[in-house]
Structure 1
Amino acid sequence: MPTAPPPKPVNLGGHCAAAASSTSPSNWAALRLAPNQAWSRTRGKGQLVAIVDSGADGSLPQLAGHIAIGADVVSGSGRGNTDCLGSGTGMAGIVVAQAAGGSTMSGVAPDATVLPVRVVTTTPTATPANEAAAIQVAVSAGAGVIALGSYVNVNDPAVAKAIAAAVGRDIVVVLAAGTSGSTNPALAGAKAATLRVGGVGVDGSLAAAYQVGTVNVVAPGMNVSTLGITGTGTVPANGTQFSVAFVAAEVALVRAALPGLSAVQVVHRVEVTADRMSSGAVPDSHYGFGMINPAESVTRALPEERQSISPPTERFGTSVVAAGATGSPR
């Protein structure tokens, strides 16, 4: 697990308040990834990115118009666009944040839409049944990429089965690389359309003790800037779930720019366009194919991609995305 988790917010009579942070956020991740270099090709318009975590604070002006209603699977009804723990909002900010409300932060895929699927409310513990149900909600809503946060145990049989089902629907599933235990066989069978992510700091140090050989790509995951809940502004965040959000956002860019690619082809493109993190063989046992590169992922020509690029088809569902989302996919 990450060595420096984000501050834990508390619940005050149904209202969420984030704890103050003593660390100033850094924009090193934005400087390193330079997602703006991809935006002349695509900003992710028409892509629905499901985030399975603590929800997302839809009241923030930086997320306005880019957060769908979502779903709260804990209660079995209700919206996912509220957040008491903050990690889901932080992930959403990395994907779709807008320069608004005095913030200059921009997400990697700012024209995409986030579907927040809430598996925890005020306590950081989710049940396998809710985790699996959340993935099923994301599939039903038409997400093109599903980002699994830190509250999802991918080795649980029910969760692994749900991931395999999502992959079977041509959805890219992005998850944290393993830190302990063995991979469930159902999840191993879905490997070709999943991206296992490791987090790194500005110096390249790993955010957690990932199992050797489990990392496909890495992304910033230590002292990264993102959005806090309840108007706390831009805050520093630490954890592999934030690295997962960076990768999911790049997947959204690829799916928007090259809609004819299958989920397996998208995963391959993200891997082979990553920047190497070591001088040895690729994939490296610790860093996989290396640091994601948004601009390269949407511009580099790959000779192995032989199919024609067809226009995208509408993926969005209805009830969980109807409010708060911008436009329709094109």
Structure 2
Amino acid sequence: MARRRPITTFALVGALLTTTLTLPVPAHAAPEICQNPSDPGEVNTETPWHQRWLAPQRVWPFSTGAGVRVAVIDSGTDSSHPQLAGRVDSGFDALRNAPGGDVDCVSHGTAVASIIVAARQEGVGFHGLAPDATIVPIRVSERNANESTDTAGATVGGAVFAQAIMRAVEDGADVINMSVTLYRPDPDVQRAIQYAVDNDVVLVAAAGNRHQDGARPDPVPYPASYDGVIGVGAVDQNGARIRQSQIGPYVDIVAPGGAVVAATRLTGHAAYDGTSFATPMVSATAALIRAAEPNLSAKEVTRRILATADPARGDAARGYGSGVVNPYRAVTERLTSAKPVAQPPLPEVPVDAAAQAREQRWALFGRLALWIGLGLATVAVAVAVLAALLPRGRRTRWRPTRPAASPGDRPEIDEPEEVFFRVPTSTSRE
């Protein structure tokens, strides 16, 4: 799957770019380059919410990212972390212009890489989305991005960033993850991006964490704004865009990026916020697709990712792009522009004459039983009526009678007092 590029092209361009580096190349051993290394975190035993949301185990029967090389341009990647051991190449340190990108002083790059490839371990809830991919670490920063803004991008010069991109291409990267952000266009970076596009590399970049809450337009992030790059915003566990995730036409898709769990340097895990940590979830999805269908071009992989995104709570104008990334749909669904294919007609069902005759007989018996049942019910009703009327008819000798009123139904009538008068028996005249 990995594609090796001729080193001659890189050597020529790299020589031109490295002349702009202002940092000296220290002659220290790799562990000694960290001046103020971050402390390792505690081991996470619970399943993080972003894993429950994306459910990568559904897609692993189809792809685990095997054979795909994902370059992580960041603060380096600590290859000694138990969940990253054997999954990280030595890489390149663009700050020192020397081999050895597998060292991380601040955990940022280690966290990003772990979201992509961290192995499953007993008793550990966190793991990566594409565990069989390989990380190519390119070290461009010694400062971390804090939880609300990507300040790591400010430490990266355009020449160093461009060199890192081109080095990743030459090292055979199939996907390049860029979780650091520049806030000014740079011609060297733009040329390096175009070089990666020309070499069929899927490019994924953070959309930035400097949302202005409507006070003024968000600053334009690079390389997310360049053509050929998938710009990634961040949502929380409710599917809502996190406050700092930027809004703009450079947001092509969103992924979990609020309080997501990832690895720290050396051992352990921590919770992280920002588009920096949503970006590797899209990069891991690209790795899964490239492993499942190595013949797809980078443009086709990008189109697949965007077309299979789940509906989001908001539209592109509100920083959600095409929706929320869905690794399972991205790997298992297919896109086509061909016309619908007519299916052949269904075969005729064979007729069973004997079964048809039995069905007709049972239908006839059913109708007969219905009519017989109705007739018997009518006779039963008639008998019951006669049984109730015959005794009464005999008592009244079949003469009509009025029903006797009950004492309570009789109205009270005031009877007139009796008046007595005498009738004269004879008359006398005077």
TM bin, normalised by shorter chain, reads 0.7 to 0.9
Give the match for residue 62 of structure 2.
Answer: 41
CA distance in 2: counterparts of 1:305 and 1:258, whole angstroms: 19
Higher-Rg member (1/2): 2
- Give the distance between the partners of 2:87 and 2:335, measured in 1 at CA: 31
Deviates more, 1:127-136 or 1:198-207: 198-207
User: Aligned partners of 1:112 and 1:34: how far apart in 2?
Assistant: 17
- 1:164 Cα deviation after fit: 1.6
CA offsets 1:86-123 (integer angstroms, 9 cap, x no match): 11000011000012375242211000001110001357
Residue 199 of structure 2: aligned partner? 169
Letter in 1 for 2:289: V
CA distance in 1, matches of 2:305, 2:100: 32
CA contact (8 A) 2:289 2:301 kept: yes
Change (3 A) 1:141 1:154: farther
Letter of the 2:194 partner, please give it: A
Aligned positions, number: 289
Shift of 1:16: 2.6
> What residue is the counterpart of 2:376 in the other structure?
none
Instruction: Please state how far the C-alpha of 1:285 moved relative to its aligned partner.
Output: 4.5
Unaligned segments of structure 1, at least 5 residues: 1-10, 307-330
Which deviations, in whole Å up to 9, do the C-alpha atoms of 1:7-36 show, x marking residues without a partner? xxxx99757332768x99871100111111
| 2:248 matches 1:248 | no
- Out of 286, 300, 311, which is 1:265 matched to? 300
Q: What is the CA–CA distance in structure 2 between the aligned matches of 1:114 and 1:106, rounded to whole Å?
A: 15
**Which deviates further from its counterpart, 59-68 or 208-217?**
208-217
- Work out whether residues 248 and 317 of structure 2, in 8 Å CA contact, stay in contact via their aligned partners in 1: no
| Paired letter, 1:212 | G
How do 1:199-218 residues align onto structure 2 when only pairs under 5 Å count?
199-207=234-242, 208-218=244-254
Alignment correspondent of 1:120: 141
Aligned counterparts of 1:32 and 1:187: Cα–Cα separation in 2: 25
> Percent sequence identity over matched residues?
35
* 1:157 aligned residue: 187
Distance, in Å, in 2 between the alignment partners of 1:303 and 1:294 is 19
CA distance in 2, matches of 1:126, 1:40: 39
How far, CA to CA, are the matches of 1:109 and 1:158 in structure 2? 31
Give 2:256's aligned residue.
220
Q: Which ranges of 4 or more aligned residues in structure 1 deviate by more than 3 Å?
A: 11-15, 23-26, 151-154, 178-184
Residue 132 (1) aligns with residue 152 (2)? no
- Structure with more of its chain in strand, by fraction: 1
- From 194, 197, 201, the counterpart of 2:229: 194
Query: Which 5+ residue runs of structure 2 have no aligned equivalent?
Result: 1-31, 145-151, 211-217, 340-430
**Conservation of the 8 A alpha-carbon contact between 1:26 and 1:223:** no
1-structure distance, mates of 2:304, 2:270 = 31
Q: Distance in 2 between matches of 1:157 and 1:234?
A: 37
SS in 1 for 2:285: helix
In the TM superposition, what are the counterparts of 1:1-330 in structure 2 within 5 Å? 14=35, 16-18=37-39, 27-100=48-121, 102-121=123-142, 124=152, 125-152=155-182, 155-177=185-207, 180-182=218-220, 191=227, 193-207=228-242, 208-231=244-267, 233-278=268-313, 283=316, 285-304=318-337
* 44-53 or 23-32: bigger deviation: 23-32
Q: Contact (CA 8 Å) 1:215, 1:285: kept in 2 or not?
A: no
Cα–Cα, structure 1 residues 17 and 209, in superposed 2: closer, same or farther, change >3 Å?
A: closer
State the distance in 2 between where 1:53 and 1:211 align. Answer: 23
TM-score by length of structure 2 reads 0.62
Deviation of residue 266 (structure 1)? Answer: 0.6
Give 3-state SS (helix, strand or coil) of 1:61's partner: coil
Structure-2 change in CA distance of 1:151 and 1:102 (3 Å):
farther
Q: CA deviation at 1:159?
A: 1.4
Q: Does the 8 A contact of 2:48 with 2:125 survive in 1?
A: no
With over 3 angstroms needed to count, the CA separation of the structure-2 counterparts of 1:55 and 1:140, relative to structure 1, is same
Contact persistence 2:201–2:298 (CA under 8 A) = yes
211-220 or 235-244: which moved more?
211-220
Q: Which has the higher contact order (CA 8 A, sep 6+)?
A: 1
- Aligned CA RMSD, in angstroms, stands at 2.7
User: One-letter code of the match for 1:238?
Assistant: D
